[in-house]
Amino acid sequence: METLGSKREMALPSRSSSQAIGAPTVSSSQAIGALTLSSSQVIGAPTLSSSQAIGALTLSSSQVIGAPTLSSSQAIGAPTVSSSQAIGAPTVSSSQVIGAPTLSSSQAIGTLTLSSSQAIGAPTVSSSQVIGAPTLSSSQAIGTLTLSSSQAIGTPTLSSSQAIGTPTLSSSQAIGAPTVSSSQAIGAPPLRNFTIPRRKRGDGKALLDVCLKESRDYSLIQTTLNESRLDMGKEISLSWQWDDVTLIHNEELLREFSEKR
């Protein structure tokens, strides 16, 4: 005769310490098709471990069979990337970047951020050379307004050596400029001195009258006799400032006047 206790034991599956099949309570060894998982292995379970979770749910700490979670070595086709390499993932490691917007510190190709070595097609220029840029180095300037300290060609600012066709002149020479240096004066009426011997009274006054009468440009004549003493002393000294044509003409008059007397 069977008791009520023995019938209940045969109708319900016993829960041993080894395995549980189709039961909600799971032992500490393995669980197949159950909601609660052990710490050793999980087959087709939704719980994930604490290592990594890529496109899956939760995995155990050892292995997962049939789950999309990957180990800590490599990640293929997953958004989370390990520290070694990243293939087709948006997160990039510190070694190389392939097709990613973030660039490393070595080189940048086709991006706006440039390294400290060279710049290709970028607006930022290094300190060595400038090609077609408005900023120039300290060596030479080609086709720009800023000039170096060596020479100035066709610019208003001139160096301290020479000035060609500019209004500002150096201290050496002045060519075609209104400002004249302290060495020479080109195109200015020169000051000449001329002395002739006196032969008779009134030679000085007569000579002055001849020069003034025969001069071609009266505005440039500045003829003076020495101390205005026309009839004193043995010689007559004259000084004048004429243009070149008048000067040559008056020198001829002085020679003729001296010879006639």
pLDDT at 97: 43
Burial of 30 (0-12, 13-18, 19+ CB in 10 A): middle
Residue 69 token pair: 């979670």
pLDDT at 227: 41
Mean pLDDT per block of 10 residues along the chain (261 residues) reads 48 49 51 50 53 51 52 52 50 50 50 50 49 51 48 47 46 46 49 63 64 52 47 60 54 65 54
Q: Report residue 193: phi and psi, to 5°.
A: -115, 140
Of the candidates 228, 234, 250, the residue with the CA atom closest to the CA atom of residue 197: 234
Q: Strand 42-43 to strand 64-65: parallel, antiparallel, or no bridges (unpaired)?
A: parallel
Q: Report residue 92: phi and psi, to 5°.
A: -120, 145
pLDDT at 199: 62
Amino acid making up residue 45: A
